Amino acid sequence: MTQSVALIDYGAGNLQSVRNALKAAGALDIRVTADPDVVRAADRIVLPGVGAFAHCRQALWGIDGMIAALEDATGAGGKPFLGICVGMQLMAEAGEEHGRHEGLGWVPGTVRLLEPTDPAIKIPHMGWNDVVPLVPHPLIDAGEAYFLHSFAFEGEGVLASTRHGAEVTAAIGIGNRVGVQFHPEKSQRYGLALLERFLAWAP
């Protein structure tokens, strides 16, 4: 039986690239959607995100019924969920970009501005960097991925890190909900392998 993947369209994600990457990873039924009912019915859920935390939050919360659908579908023992970049950051309790804004609260922690002590370290953190697993997890392998961000998660549930002047969160997760700060759709073989594992994941 073909499993469906809901790719959430809230006007704040690189949808076509993520869709193409999911397809290349083997997904046969990808539903790009802003419909909470489609999200509830899907077998797996992907939340992309580019831009500022506050803008993405406003856009996602602005879809009537979407937050409830996400909670219902991915609550304890629910369907596999993958957040990408700001989609990962929205899993946190709050983000501090353009003021403090409440997140989904799925993972205890806050998204804060990267502030390296070395002036030679540039912000945003952009380009290829190592992903270093901190705990064993079926989705997260060591490798190199493509990052583009100025804010990073600080808190619990950190699955992997990278270094950009200091240690920076690369992936978070609790239960069936996982998020990655990097872009799998831009990370070539490493990213496609991660998406393949997500499509096969049975948490």
What are 84's strand-pairing partners? 180
Told to judge if 183 belongs to the known catalytic residues of this protein, a careful annotator would answer: yes
- Cα distance between residue 55 and residue 146, in whole Å: 22
Q: What letter represents residue 39's amino acid?
A: V
185 is catalytic: yes
Distance CA 3, CA 27 (A): 8
Q: How far apart are CA 89 and CA 111, in angstroms?
A: 6
Break the chain down into helix, strand, coil percent, rounded to 5.
Answer: 25, 35, 40
Catalytic, out of 125, 149, 164, 183: 183
Catalytic residue status for 55: no
Instruction: State the DSSP code for 184.
Output: G
**Which residue's entry shows tokens 């499993």?**
3
User: Do the beta carbons of residue 126 and residue 91 sit within 8 Å?
Assistant: no
Which residue out of 56, 85, 97, 149 is catalytically annotated?
A: 85
Marked catalytic residue, from 97, 125, 164, 185:
185
Active site residues: 85, 183, 185
